[in-house]
Amino acid sequence: MINCISTNQGVLLEGRYLSSQLESLQNELLALVSKSSGELEVDLSGVVGGDSSLISVLLACMRQANKETKKILFIGFSQQLMGLLQLSNLDEIVVASR
């Protein structure tokens, strides 16, 4: 189960990916986007596993941030998730560049 842990920079996602928890994870992340003051950093370095459904959650968060004129930065992708992003040509859209 992936947990959201608040940090000084934003939120750290930590734990094993379970597709059964995606709805609650998405709801929690969307709430954090809405509560953010303009920029939210989401660190995925603590996530074990993942698939295209997890990427869909990240895209939903990006859409919400854009809708609210806020910025969301995703960092710390595993090789597995980065591979999926590259395969779907989403790596340049989703991966934070500073």
Give the CA distances from residue 34 to residues 27, 51, 67, 72, in Å, rounded to whole numbers and listed in that order. 11, 25, 10, 11
Contacts of 20 (CB under 8 A, 6+ apart): none
Of 2-16, 47-61, 83-97, the one with minimum mean pLDDT is 83-97
Check if the beta carbon of residue 15 is closer than 8 Å to that of residue 47.
yes
**Looking at residue 94, what is its pLDDT?**
85
pLDDT at residue 56 is higher than 60: yes
Predicted confidence band at 9 (pLDDT cuts at 50, 70, 90)?
A: confident
Confidence (pLDDT) at 98:
42
Q: Is the separation of the CB atoms in 43 and 13 below 8 Å?
A: yes
Global pTM value: 0.90
